[in-house]
Amino acid sequence: MTQEIIVTGAAGFIGSHLVKFLLNNHFSVIGIDNFSDYYSKKIKKFNLSPFLKSERFKFFEFDLSKPGLEKNIRKADIIIHLAAQPGVRGSWGDSFNIYVKDNILALQKLLEWSVQNKIDKFIFASSSSVYGDTDTLPMDENKSIPVPVSPYGSTKLMGENLCRIYHQNFSLEYYCLRFFSVYGPAQRPDMAFSKLFRAALTGTEFNLFGDGKQTRDFTYIDDIIHGISRTLDLKEKNTVYLILAAGPEFQ
Ligand SMILES: NC(=O)c1ccc[n+]([C@@H]2O[C@H](COP(=O)([O-])OP(=O)(O)OC[C@H]3O[C@@H](n4cnc5c(N)ncnc54)[C@H](O)[C@@H]3O)[C@@H](O)[C@H]2O)c1
C-alpha cells in the first residue's frame, strides 16, 4: 500500500523539494503550510504550484499552532515536520514570540496529534544551531554537546527534547535531523546565496556581516532530501542525526 506522508512547511524551500521527491517516488503526500509572512506568500505559492495537479497530493492551508488539525486530517503513516520560523538573526527581541509559537507550540500540538493518530514515525527538522559555538570540528551528534547561542537554536533544542519526551512517555518513534545551512534552487530570500545572487543580478549591494572572513559549511538541497529519505527506512530509531553532504555511504 502507498505510504501516506504529512509534510509540514510544504510550501517552503526544503518542503517543496521534499514534496517533489516524495511524489516522484510514489508516496501520497499531505502538505500543510500557513504561508507565514516571513517572506513572500507569492514565492511559497509558486513553490507549491507544480504539485497541485497531482492526485497523490492534498494541501491544507493551516496554522499548526492553532487547534483544529484533527478536523482536517485524521490519518497518515509518517510526519516530516519542517514547518517553523527559521532564521537565527531575527530570533531576538519581540519576534521571539513567533519562534515560540511556530517552533514550540506548533510542534507540541503536532506531537499530540501524532500520538492520538498512531503515527509510525515522526521526523523533525532540527538545526546545527543547537550546537552553538564549538572549537571541536567537525561536529558530531554523539560527542558534541548542544549549547545553543541563539533563541532560534534554543527553540530547536526544545523541539528535540519534546520529540524525546513524547517517545519516552507515549512510544512515538522519532528522528531529529540537524540540518546545516542549506543552499540550492528556491533558497529562502533571507539566506546568503539568495542575497548574493540577487545583488549580482540587479547590480545592487548586499549587507556584509562581520569582516567577511567567516567560514561556514553548506549542504546542497539534494543531499538534505537524500538524508531525509534515508530516515524513511532506517532501523535505528529515536535518534538524532546530522545531515551533511552525501558521502560514499549514500551512493
Ligand atoms: N534552510 C536551512 O538552511 C535550514 C537549516 C537548519 C534547519 N532548517 C529547518 O528546516 C525547516 C525548513 O526550513 P526552510 O529553509 O525550508 O524554511 P521555509 O521558511 O522556507 O519553510 C518553512 C515553512 O513553514 C511554514 N510555517 C511556519 N510556521 C508554520 C505554522 N505555524 N503552521 C504551518 N506552517 C508554518 C512557512 O509558511 C514556510 O513555508 C525549518 O524547520 C528550519 O528551521 C533549515
Kindly name the residue from 38, 152, 174, 241 that is annotated as catalytic: 152
Q: What is the pLDDT of residue 31?
A: 98
CA-based end-to-end distance of the chain: 27
**Is residue 91 included in any domain, yes or no?**
yes
Q: Cell digits for 113?
A: 496529534
**Is residue 191 included in any domain, yes or no?**
no
Q: Helical H runs in the chain?
A: 13-24, 41-48, 69-72, 96-99, 106-116, 151-170, 192-202, 221-230
Please state the φ and ψ torsions of residue 206, each to the nearest 5 degrees: -125, 155
Give residue 149's identity as a one-letter amino acid code.
V
Contact assessment for residue 160 and residue 176, using Cβ atoms and an 8 Å cutoff: yes
**Is residue 158 included in any domain, yes or no?**
yes
Q: How far apart are CA 86 and CA 221, in angstroms?
A: 16
Q: What is the pLDDT of residue 95?
A: 96
Q: What is the pLDDT of residue 64?
A: 98
Candidates 96, 105, 5, 14; CA nearest to 64 is 105
**Is residue 25 included in any domain, yes or no?**
yes
Specify the DSSP element, H or E, that contains 11.
none
Domain count, the chain: 1
Ligand 1 site-directed mutation target among 6, 14, 128, most atoms within 8 Å of CB: 14
State the pTM of this model.
Answer: 0.95
Q: What is the pLDDT of residue 251?
A: 33
- CA angle (155, 166, 223) in 5-degree steps: 60
**Is residue 204 included in any domain, yes or no?**
no
**Is residue 199 included in any domain, yes or no?**
no
Question: Is-catalytic flag, 174?
Answer: no
In 10 A of CB 136, how many CB atoms?
A: 10
34: domain CATH number is 3.40.50.720
Question: Residue 44: CB within 6 Å of ligand 1?
Answer: yes
Digit-by-digit pLDDT tens for the chain (251 residues) are: 779 999 999 999 999 999 999 999 999 999 999 999 999 999 999 999 999 999 999 999 999 999 999 998 989 999 999 999 999 999 999 999 999 999 999 999 999 999 999 999 999 999 999 999 877 788 887 888 899 999 999 999 999 999 999 999 999 999 999 999 999 999 999 999 999 999 999 999 988 888 988 888 899 999 999 999 999 987 777 777 766 554 434 33
Contact assessment for residue 231 and residue 216, using Cβ atoms and an 8 Å cutoff: no
Nearest atom within ligand 1 for CA of residue 15 = 16
Look at ligand 1, atom 23, and give the residue with the nearest C-alpha: 9
Question: Residue 125: CB within 6 Å of ligand 1?
Answer: yes
Domain span at 236: 4-183+218-250
Nearest atom within ligand 1 for CA of residue 179 = 6
